[in-house]
Structure 1
């Protein structure tokens, strides 16, 4: 058994992981107790990494060989690496020669390693001569970048994780930290336990698990963040709570901002934000307490907005006005969404950035990069950002697209427009580890990349800490590292673009790329010239880490000097602007999208195993119960959720986390998991069929956090539910086959289930019964086509039932079923299979439409604890016998059921259930 220290590939907390492997097989993971980001803890996603890397399930989803499509309608055919990259070089060089360098674009990912990012950036800006290289980090962190630069002078988070232990006030705004950054939230819980006097303020339109933790919850209306912060500053000025000495010594521009916020009175702000005046006053006073220290934590609620930069800057204004920066426990701390969004920002991996925080608009900065790379110049004009790039492809302006380690056919807003772009682009290269993403369908050329557990390089987390990523197992089949693919392609492209000249890409290891990147930072604010792979082998390190330093810098700006021309920070005089698409009579609901606890982005990795679907098993739209009653909707009804761009059908669920006139859908539900066809026959492309491409004019980050929608009941009388346990080597292939049928229905979803076995669940609904052959196809894909399978069919009523029973010892178990036309038996048939209950008492009743179970079937209920498979009914039942305070009952609950004693991701929800039980008592 081999153990390898590496870094988790999920959120920007950057947790250390110890991987156990046996040959080519990853057999286990645990948190690295020596890694300063997590000290041994892992969340549900991190602690199940070995399951998502386990063969043969994962290998079914992997892209393992280069492949080419001769037409978009044809299946990809295997080709050699030499043929694939020669073709790519010829097509890109021809496009550049005939249409110019800006006719190509590279769309990459915050999940790439820094070394991968660096060579992509050099390829585009140095060799090709275009700034059309952008990343999905544009969708998550570009407003944070722009906000830091506008106020503090550089894209450098000034705080660190340890600051939660020194803060007297914690202001969490626009972040469901409990779900999005669970291990950091564990540290917050520890800090609150150690210092009960610490005040926690949470501002969020949804009453999330993070909001439940707050001492003061501000349920602001969507998009009103700037108004909230200006209102808080107004109160601080009125009550003499600003730090004039700090303002005078270290900042510029306060007069203009003071004049601006004069009109943001508590009465007006409370009305605008939908909160009480008292809550606003309390938040301002706690934030500005001169005897304490305030740390702000924020994420997509601020960033994913048409005024995202202004939201970031307005929050930073509060820190500058109160001197709450540059000291332990204080500062504006942007939480990074992806594992290496920070590393991408360091190398200038966005269309408007240059390496090492250089400004593309400054000729001397462009000259520095050109000298380092050995080229004449780098282009001055900013390139197309994410939304702009796909708009340009849809318009025919960008003709060749290279997409790496991201799935824009799921993750970009306004999916109809993105799919048009992918269809129109003349040549699309997809460099990817997983063949199951929606974007792969549009690839003319598929290039198989390595993934977590196989890669080698570095990443940087939210607190500027650089960690090593190390391979634990060999690369499978013909996969190659991302940096290696780019370097090979670049050398071939050089033969066309600069024949006879020495290569710009002399790299043979990821470390050789790192060394050049390191040199590019010399003298910059993020100088890492004191770091090497050898030093990082000892421990992760924060930047800056200059040559001669023995350690990095935990906190920035402790001396009050900022990376601006005069060393002073700048107040941002920004105005409040409403959301880009306000609610109106036609679209009366505000749709918010966000993370689920146990899933990651488009779920190309987490979506391969059923155990991560226990907490939220199927896609839903959550709404307030009063809105459901007003619309005459019941729990589980199918509804059309429709925006100005598209529509999606989903089951509706009542949620006390969602305020009236609002709705919430998990961001992960793309067409790989939920789809269907509209009345016109066009394909529906998941949740992002609804979201708006409107973006912040300063950061170009789209407004995922708000779209105006209407919700109408979907009159789809014909229903189907199919479920089956399948062998491990059949799960992914069955899902891929079922996905191909989703467009035949007005609504369809396909998800895995099962904790210790592999199962597939398929739902569909339509206006009328489909042809029998289609249902028979579904049965076959679920392994229900054998002679031993029981069938019932009523063609006149469009009803069909299929059951597969198997003997397990002395018991009969239900192994698979399809209910078509009449799914009323779901309440007892589904738990028979899913909870693996004895089925011998039910016999042929399983086949009779409308039949009731002769013996009551008790479903286990919704899973709360993934680690120990503990459900909500079990928790509520156990709480009946618990006594004492909230903490005492939580301890009793954990002692009895073990829930929350491993990764801890479920603790916020456990506390909510305990509080609800105490309130009911």
Structure 2
């Protein structure tokens, strides 16, 4: 039997899934996946019948022997013990009742481990209480803020419009590991003769999607984009029809012409030949001569000046005439909920205060009054946040912590109560994508094991047990309301039948160069920062640490079947260029360590050609409990915009 569902994990794909369920009589339930097989929906225009290795492992993951299937409550002996739902939820409600008069002492941390209309339930609960919440982002915040500063709102051409490009410039998006379906689109475009230029520090898996490369210093993207814009300005190649649609053009022009090409290229370790290559792509001198589409990876905004890098790439797209046209555009990202009505949780109330996510350990330590109740769901902040050991200590210092989780993560290990939640294939939901305009319906096609509950029912269960209960809407009501927007013309019944629909959005963003700012103009950056600390590499820690996506993890979760986190105890493998200067001082016959001013961990070193010589690549996803979290080495640094985490500005060294 086959059923349609969808994957709501923290990923651009939002894939439509075909779930192949076993016949009860076939006796396949000794299989690690319970006889369930997951494939991509061939009828979905974006999924196109393909699902990633993590998606194929969803069925086995839900039956993992490591999964938590009953509520856990910490006892007097300091250990977590099984409890009934009534015991666990009543304990949570009692703790909240005791603090209801001081909502600022209650902190709610919700991540994007899964998303959608029903996923807003915990936000509704804690907004109703007026509790504190997070601000900022560990993911895309700097780039989102940059796009808002430039365009007035984050938006890009419809993903289907990429097929109309004559050429593509890929600024650091790993098309094999982080954007499988986009990679398939690029692969098909190359087969039709569309050339692709990749710009990155190297170490990505883009060779199969690339015709030409420019290798730059980590964080140097804004300088290369600025050099290309400067070339346009020096050649008087920006049409007046475009400059008239910008704010601040004359200041911007004078600012860039005051810099030399050589200075800008030196700042990103690029050559004049590299600049010539980029200019040919942006000036439509390659391919069929039509517009060039630019893909912006989310890694390039994980630097201190990450927002500025996105802004200068956007400006290059705009001033070269590739914005607001079919086949062009700057593809960064969109809000996954923008075409849905998710207002029910936001209307519930306002937070008493906020905590900066990139500096959460410090913010918790200095909080006055202190946080006494912490609720975490769809998030593993202890593993995923910078300065992870300090955050672990800060969470341990909170009087009472509740974590809604399916596995004993670094955060769940420090909880007083762990509430077992549903996973993909078990959880009903409606959600969108951060990249395309299709809306997905995830049907619950597999039963929840043990005493597992839907996240919505967990939040509602606490709300009902409060001394003054908080009324909750019904699930069906929330799902129907989510579809009541100007962008959708589908009923809940129709969506449940088809599994997906497409939101009504323009295929070309910013057509006619009309932008979302009140003045209707594109807003150019007013500064290009040439920070010495950002351009130079400190001597004691000469290497730049980049923590890249691992092919078998979504952030700190969803390992392949047979690769549960408890099995990952060997040292992580890091990659460096064969010409990396650190290799000359290492004795490979002795243990090797990766060190920063904040910590040290054992590693294996693997040379990989093509990486910038002062770069160390490390896979993300490892857990602090197993000595494998890169964030044990990374300082809390905030990006220039959007209150993001500047993970990629951490310097390290390799040593024996």
- Between the aligned partners of 2:418 and 2:39, the Cα distance in structure 1 is 33
SS of 2:518's equivalent in the other structure is coil
Offset, 1:255: 2.4
Offset, 1:649: 1.1
In the superposition, relative to structure 1, how do residues 700 and 347 fare at CA in structure 2: closer, same or farther (>3 Å)?
farther
Q: Which residue does the alignment assign to 1:65?
A: 70
Offset, 1:689: 0.7
| Correspondence 1:140 to 2:142 | no
Offset, 1:131: 5.2
| Correspondence 1:639 to 2:639 | no
| Correspondence 1:107 to 2:100 | no
- Between the aligned partners of 1:581 and 1:444, the Cα distance in structure 2 is 45
Segment drifting more, 11-20 vs 206-215: 206-215
Highest relative contact order (Cα 8 Å, sep 6+), 1 or 2? 2
CA contact (8 A) 1:401 1:429 kept: yes
- Between the aligned partners of 1:660 and 1:208, the Cα distance in structure 2 is 15
TM-score by length of 2: 0.89
Residue pairs, 1:737-752, within 5 angstroms: none
Segment drifting more, 116-125 vs 693-702: 116-125
TM-score by length of 1: 0.65
SS of 2:294's equivalent in the other structure is strand
- Between the aligned partners of 1:345 and 1:168, the Cα distance in structure 2 is 29
Q: Which residue does the alignment assign to 1:840?
A: none
In the superposition, relative to structure 1, how do residues 620 and 478 fare at CA in structure 2: closer, same or farther (>3 Å)?
same
2:427 to 455, 470, 476: 455
CA contact (8 A) 1:392 1:398 kept: no
CA contact (8 A) 1:218 1:275 kept: yes
Q: Which residue does the alignment assign to 1:776?
A: none
Q: Which residue does the alignment assign to 2:17?
A: 17
CA contact (8 A) 1:409 1:419 kept: yes
- Between the aligned partners of 1:227 and 1:429, the Cα distance in structure 2 is 45
| Correspondence 1:77 to 2:81 | yes
- Between the aligned partners of 1:492 and 1:144, the Cα distance in structure 2 is 41
- Between the aligned partners of 1:300 and 1:471, the Cα distance in structure 2 is 31
- Between the aligned partners of 1:646 and 1:610, the Cα distance in structure 2 is 26
Q: Which residue does the alignment assign to 2:7?
A: 7
CA contact (8 A) 1:598 1:612 kept: no
Q: Which residue does the alignment assign to 2:355?
A: 384
- Between the aligned partners of 1:187 and 1:41, the Cα distance in structure 2 is 12
| Correspondence 1:243 to 2:212 | no
CA contact (8 A) 1:449 1:480 kept: yes
Q: Which residue does the alignment assign to 1:223?
A: 219
Q: Which residue does the alignment assign to 2:125?
A: 123
Q: Which residue does the alignment assign to 1:687?
A: 630
In the superposition, relative to structure 1, how do residues 709 and 463 fare at CA in structure 2: closer, same or farther (>3 Å)?
same
Structure 1 unaligned regions, length at least 5? 337-341, 349-354, 357-368, 546-551, 676-684, 714-921
1:89 to 90, 93, 99: 93
In the superposition, relative to structure 1, how do residues 212 and 2 fare at CA in structure 2: closer, same or farther (>3 Å)?
closer
CA contact (8 A) 1:62 1:434 kept: yes
Offset, 1:122: 2.7
Residue pairs, 1:355-504, within 5 angstroms: 373=347, 378=350, 383-396=354-367, 397-435=370-408, 437-461=409-433, 462-493=435-466, 495-496=467-468, 503-504=470-471
Structure 2 unaligned regions, length at least 5? none
CA contact (8 A) 1:8 1:17 kept: no
Offset, 1:208: 2.5
1:706 to 649, 652, 656: 649
- Between the aligned partners of 2:552 and 2:545, the Cα distance in structure 1 is 21
Q: Which residue does the alignment assign to 2:248?
A: 253
SS of 2:572's equivalent in the other structure is coil
- Between the aligned partners of 2:246 and 2:546, the Cα distance in structure 1 is 36
Task: String of CA shifts for 1:695-717, please: whole Å, max 9, x gaps.
Answer: 1142111112231112111xxxx
Segment drifting more, 257-266 vs 465-474: 257-266
Task: String of CA shifts for 1:425-474, please: whole Å, max 9, x gaps.
Answer: 11111001123x12111000110100011011122111232111111111
- Between the aligned partners of 1:401 and 1:347, the Cα distance in structure 2 is 29
Offset, 1:409: 2.0
In the superposition, relative to structure 1, how do residues 553 and 215 fare at CA in structure 2: closer, same or farther (>3 Å)?
same
May I ask how many residue pairs the two structures share in their alignment? 638
- Between the aligned partners of 2:73 and 2:564, the Cα distance in structure 1 is 34
SS of 2:537's equivalent in the other structure is coil
SS of 1:132's equivalent in the other structure is strand
| Correspondence 1:303 to 2:301 | yes
- Between the aligned partners of 2:565 and 2:129, the Cα distance in structure 1 is 42
CA contact (8 A) 2:104 2:353 kept: no
CA contact (8 A) 1:591 1:663 kept: yes
CA contact (8 A) 1:303 1:309 kept: yes
SS of 1:609's equivalent in the other structure is coil
In the superposition, relative to structure 1, how do residues 629 and 112 fare at CA in structure 2: closer, same or farther (>3 Å)?
closer
Offset, 1:10: 5.6
2:478 to 501, 513, 517: 513
Offset, 1:159: 1.8
Segment drifting more, 226-235 vs 101-110: 101-110
